[in-house]
Amino acid sequence: MRTESLTWRVVRAVSLVAFGIFFLVPLLSMVDFSTRVINGGGRTLTPWANLFRDEMLRTSIIFSLLLALLTTLLMLVLLVPTMIWVRLRVPAASKLVEYLCLLPLTIPPLVIVVGIANVYAWVSYLFGNSPLTLTFAYVILVLPYAYRSIDSALASINVVTLAEAARSLGAGWTTVIVRVVLPNIWAGVISAAFVSVALVLGEFTFASLLNFQTMPYVIGLLGKSDAPTSVAASLAALLFASLLLVLLSFVGRRTRTSKGA
C-alpha cells in the first residue's frame, strides 16, 4: 500500500464535504421547511401532525400499504413457482422467462401507462374502480428486481438434486416447491419482497395518469395547497423507504454468511 500524498488527502476531504453538502442540504431543508412557522419565528409540528389528521392523506397511505402488500403477494405467487418450475422441468424456457422479466427495464413505465387503457377498461369492469387494481400494473414494474434476487438465490442452491431427492422419497411437485425449494431460497424471496414494497410505495407514474389516489399522488396534490405538509410527507416517505432498504441490506448479508457456512 502506497502512502497517500498530502494533496490527495486534501482533495479527498474537500470533495467529500462538497458531496455531503449537495446531498444533505435538501434533506435538512425539508426538516426546516416542514417545521417552521410561516411569517414568523418559532417552530411548529402541525405539518407532521397533519400526516395523521388529513383524511385524504391517511386514506392514501393505507391504500399504498395495501397495494404494496397485494403487489408483493401476487408477484411471489406468479414468479416463484414459475421460476422453480423452469429450473426443474422446462430449462428450455429459462431464456424466455428471463427476457420477459427484464423487459420492463427497457420499456419506460410511461409507455406502458399510455398503452394500458384498454386492458384497464377490462380490469375495472371485472374488479371495480378501486386503487387496489393498480396491483396488476405494479407487478410488472417490480418484476425485473424481484427476478434478479430470486434468480441469484436459486443459483446458489442445487434445485434439481434437491427436487430429485424429495421426489424419490415420494413428495409431490407442490411439496417439492413449497416445502423443499422455498425454504432454501427464503432470503432471496424476502429481498424481492422488500424491493417490491419500496418501489410500490414510491410509484407515481401509473397512479397519477390513471388517477388513483395513492400516497405519492396525494403528496403531489398536497404540494399545491399545503406545501409544508407535502414536504413533511415526502421526508417521512423517504425515511420509511430508507428504513426498508437498510433492513434489506441485513437480509442480503445473512444470505452471504449462510452461503459461506
Partner 1 sequence: MNRFSRFTAWLALLPFLLYLLVFLVAPTLTVMVGAFQENGRFTLVNVQALFSGTVLHVLRTSLILSAVSALVGAVLGAFLTYLVATRPATSAFRRVVTAVSGVLAQFGGVPLAFAFIATLGFSGVVTEALRSTLGVDIFGSGWLFGLPGLILVYSYFQIPLMVIVFLPALDGIRPQWREAAVNLGASTWQYWRRVAGPMLLPAFLGSALLLFANAFAAYATAAVLVSQGQPILPLLIRSALTSEVVLGRQNLAFALAFEMVVVVAVVMTLYSLLVRRTSRWLR
**Interaction with partner 1 in 237-256: which residues (CB under 8 A)?**
237-238, 241-242, 245-246, 249
Cβ burial of 60 (10 Å; 0-12, 13-18, 19+) is buried
Which stretch, 65-73, 153-161, 181-189, 212-220, contacts partner 1 (CB under 8 A)? 212-220
19 touches partner 1 by CB under 8 A? yes
Contact string (CB under 8 A) for partner 1, positions 71-100, x = contact? -------xx-xx--xx--xx--x---x--x
Q: How far apart are CA 202 and CA 177, in angstroms?
A: 32
Restricted to residues 126-185, the positions that interact with partner 1 (CB under 8 A) are: 136-137, 139-140
Q: Does residue 25 touch partner 1 according to CB under 8 A?
A: yes
Q: Residues 217, 61: contact at Cβ < 8 Å?
A: no
Position 188 contacts partner 1 (CB under 8 A) = no
Are 165 and 226 spatial neighbours (Cβ–Cβ below 8 Å)?
no
Here the cell at position 141 is 414494474
Q: Does 110 bind partner 1 (CB under 8 A)?
A: yes
64 binds partner 1 (CB under 8 A): no
- Using CB under 8 A, which of 65, 152, 156, 223 touches partner 1? 223
Residue nearer to partner 1 on the CB measure, 34 or 149 = 34
Q: CA–CA separation, 180 vs 171, rounded Å?
A: 9
Alpha helical stretches, state H, 36-171: 46-53, 55-88, 94-106, 109-115, 117-127, 134-155, 159-168
